[in-house]
Amino acid sequence: MAFTKPRRELEPRWVSEYMATTYPKAEVRFRVPLGPIPKETQADYGLMKGLRVYRPWRPEVDAAARWMSKTILVEAKIFKYMSRTTFGRHGRNETSTGLKTP
């Protein structure tokens, strides 16, 4: 099913802003795949092509930062929530979005 209206990709922008303000001195990478590829895939295609072929099946995080002796993984989700004042005049249902951090 296709989207009927254009989507705005807010998550990558907010993740990059969060990483820039929280870890300004860290080495940061975005959309990082996790884990190794299967040895069979590497044997069939070689390392570099095997990484590209197997990419859709590897889990990934939105950002990873290497900071001091730690690796920080960030997975962000944007949730729409209704505030208490959304049902004002005309019974309109307005939602807000935001990036929630611990």
Distance CA 84, CA 68 (A): 42
Q: What is the pTM assigned to this prediction?
A: 0.62
Does residue 3 sit within a domain? no
The chain-wide mean pLDDT, for the chain, equals 78
Per the structure, the count of domains in the chain is: 1
Q: What share of the chain is helix, strand, coil (3-state, %, to 5)?
A: 30, 30, 40
Find the mean pLDDT for residues 3-23. Answer: 77
The boundaries of the domain holding residue 16 are 11-99
Does residue 66 sit within a domain? yes
Cα dihedral sign for 8, 14, 16, 20? Answer: positive
In the block, tokens 């993740």 appear at 15
Higher-confidence residue of 13 and 20: namely 20
Distance CA 61, CA 31 (A): 6
Q: What is the pLDDT of residue 86?
A: 46
Q: Tell me the residue ranges of DSSP E strands in 34-85.
A: 60-67, 70-74, 78-82
Q: pLDDT above 70 covers what percent of the chain?
A: 67
